[in-house]
Structure formats: C-alpha cells, structure tokens
Amino acid sequence: MQSQGDIGARSLRGRLELRQRTLRALVDTGLDAAVRSARQRMWRHGSHRVRLRHGLLARAGPGEPLPPLRRISAPRSLAVQLQLMALFEAQCPGARAGEPSRRPLVDPRTMGEPSWVELVCSLASNSSGLVRGATAKQNRVRQLKHALARLADHGMIEAGVGYHRFAGFRLLDETSAEVPYSVPEINRSVTVPAEFFLNGWVHALTDNEISLYLALRLLARSPGPVEPGSNLFLAQRMRTETFGFDRATYEAHRMLMRCGLVTVTMDPLRNPGDGTLSGSRKGTTSQYHRFTLNDDTLRQQGASTVIDALTRQLAGQTLWDVLPA
C-alpha cells in the first residue's frame, strides 16, 4: 500500500511539472515576450516604481474582511494579475487615473498602443494537464472577461451593463468600491519596482507567491530598527490577522527563495523541507524565518527564472541547497 507521503510527493511533482510546461509554452510561443514588449511600450519613461495602497494587501484592523488582493484570488483566474496590471496602467505616462479606460479590450485602435488582452499573459490547461490554446486570442479574451467580472463583483472596477459592459470600465480605489482610483501618495503606499511588471514576474508567479512577496514589500516600508528590506519576518498572528494568509500562502516563500527574489535565513530549529521541529527539539521555542528582498533579481525575466527554479527542484535540489552559506 502506498503511503500518504508517496501520494503527496507524486501530486506535488505533477503540479510542478504542469507549471513548468505552462511557463515553457508561454516562452516558446513568444507570448511572454510579446506581453513584456507591450508593457514596455506603454510604460516608456514612467517612474521606476509602481505604488500600491497598503489596504490592497493588509486588513484595516482586527476582524475586518480579507484584504482585497486575497479576496479576488481564485484558481486559474487572471484577477490578481489583471488588478495589478490595471494599477500599473493607471500610473503610465499620460494615464488619466480615475477616468473610464480608453484602452480597448481586444483590438488596439492606435498602432503600438496595446489593448488589455495584450497586457495579460496566461494559458489554460485541462484536467489531463495538457496546455491548450497557447496563443489563441479568444481563450485569452474569455479569461480576461472572467477576471473583469470578478473584479467588478468585488468592487475593484466599475463596469457597465449588457454584452459590452467592460468596454471603458473604470478603475476604483483599491480599498473603496465607491471612490474612483487615484495614484496614492508615496508615504501612503507600498512601492514595487516597475521591473516586477516589465519583466513578467506578475504573470510568472502564483497568486500566493505574489501576495507574500508584496506583503514583504509592505513590511520593508514600515519604520523599525532594521535596514529597510532586510531582516523581515512574519509572525503567525500577523500572517493570519493582518494579511489573511493560510499556511500555503506563507509556504510560498520557498519558491521566492528558489527564484532569488528573497533570501531566507531559516529558523535553525526547523527542517527547511517541511517546516517541522525535529523530535529532539520539540518543546523548544522556535524562531522566525528572516527575509531579505533582492530587487536585483527583478531585472531577470520572470518566466525563464521560474522555469529554471522548477527544473532544479524537479531534478532533486532541496532548500538546503539554496540557503545562504
């Protein structure tokens, strides 16, 4: 009889292989490069950083609903990617934040000016694990409209009615469904390097990985005795009460570490493989993992970097191999 551990290991390997195939298809078909190029054309000489309101990522207080970025997340949905891309687009040169979008959903009206479907990157896969419709525009349009509907349901955008309800949708404040969007002030925002979008990390990472990464960026902005961006930690109470993270979301730090987006100093009392205390250490007070953000990694192409990380993991690389010396 197979143990639960054997079944779980096979299931994990299958998920890793599917993700690897999906990202490779994005790269091999040229879709990843095309989307990154479209974003570059749109951004042109924009600011080096994109600003996000704290309330997009963290609860306003104890007992409040999940943060918006957690609420809109759903399996196989583009909602998180699209929401972040809409905030990116609203901060591009010449954008008119708070007004109905003049960018068409599908077919660009002006040569060189991308439509919304050209700014998001995704592939669909069926239950057999086969990637389908790698560059089919109709598939991406369908996913785009589903994501827009989800954002509208959660008060992130204002849409119209009828068949063309998303044409000219209006972006709303990340934290208030009744206020048109405006770019937040620098001292009231989390800043994300533009390379996170331009180099494709926003579509190469999973929703959980994005949520954890942005939470760490928020913590790096908080005043404290440590240098910004280093020695960050997430206590369990903060993970659940402030950010609404479950264990799977927190464990996303493993892929962020494999990709080089963060350096993790592990709790020395815990097994880096599964996070458990060894039998001889039970009853000992554990410590927090400490995180350092590595912004230089954002200069690399996100999809290719994640593919490389998955390849090494599938070949047997353990977290011990990527821990700092």
The pLDDT tens digits for 146-167 are 999 999 999 999 998 777 889 9
Map tokens 């020695």 to a residue.
231
pLDDT of residue 226: 45
The closest of 323, 118, 111, 87 to 182, measured between CA atoms, is 87
Determine what percent of the chain is predicted with pLDDT higher than 90. 58
How does DSSP classify residue 232? B
Q: In the chain, where does DSSP find H-type helix? A: 4-28, 31-43, 54-57, 68-71, 79-90, 137-153, 195-198, 201-204, 207-221, 236-237, 247-250, 253-259, 302-314
pLDDT at position 284 is 46
pTM to 2 decimal places: 0.87
pLDDT tens column, 76-98: 899 999 999 999 999 999 888 88
Contact call for residues 49 and 192 (beta carbons, < 8 A): yes
* pLDDT above 50 for 59: yes
Dig out the tokens for 90 from the structure.
Answer: 């609203």
pLDDT category, 248, cuts 50, 70, 90? very high
Neighbours of 260 (CB within 10 A): 16
Structure tokens at 199: 């180099």
Kindly state the percentage of the chain with pLDDT values over 70.
82
**Which of helix, strand or coil describes residue 148?**
helix
Give the tokens for residue 317: 């690389």
User: What is the pLDDT, as a whole number, of residue 91?
Assistant: 95
Residue 3's pLDDT band, with cuts at 50, 70 and 90, is very low
In 3D, which of 157, 167, 130 has the Cα closest to residue 17?
Answer: 130
Can you state the percent helix, strand and coil of the chain, rounding each to 5?
Answer: 45, 10, 45
Which of 10-14, 20-24, 273-277 is modeled with the greatest confidence? 20-24
Q: What six digits make up the tokens of 157?
A: 């955008």
Q: Considering the chain, what is the average pLDDT of its residues? A: 85
- Give the pLDDT band of residue 45 (cuts 50, 70, 90): confident
Does pLDDT of 325 surpass 80? no
Parallel, antiparallel or unpaired: strands 290-293 and 262-265: antiparallel
Cβ neighbors of 168 (< 8 A, separation 6 or more) are 100, 101, 102, 160
Task: Find how far residue 186's CA is from the centre of its chain.
Answer: 21
The HSE-up count of residue 259 (CA atoms within 13 Å, CB side) is: 30
Residue for token pair 């589903």:
146
Q: d(Cα 319, Cα 165) in Å, to the nearest integer?
A: 47
Q: How many helices (H) and strands (E) does the chain have?
A: 13, 8
Structure confidence at residue 62 as a pLDDT band (50, 70, 90): confident
Average pLDDT over residues 278-288: 52
Max CA pair span of the chain: 66
In terms of DSSP H, where are the helices of 222-316? 236-237, 247-250, 253-259, 302-314
| Pairwise CA distance, residues 219 & 61, whole Å | 16
- Region 297-316: mean pLDDT is 97
pLDDT for the residue numbered 322: 83
Mean pLDDT of 99-127: 81
CB 145 within 8 A of CB 76: no
What pLDDT is recorded for position 84? 98
pLDDT for 133 beyond 70: no
Enter the tokens of residue 200.
């494709």
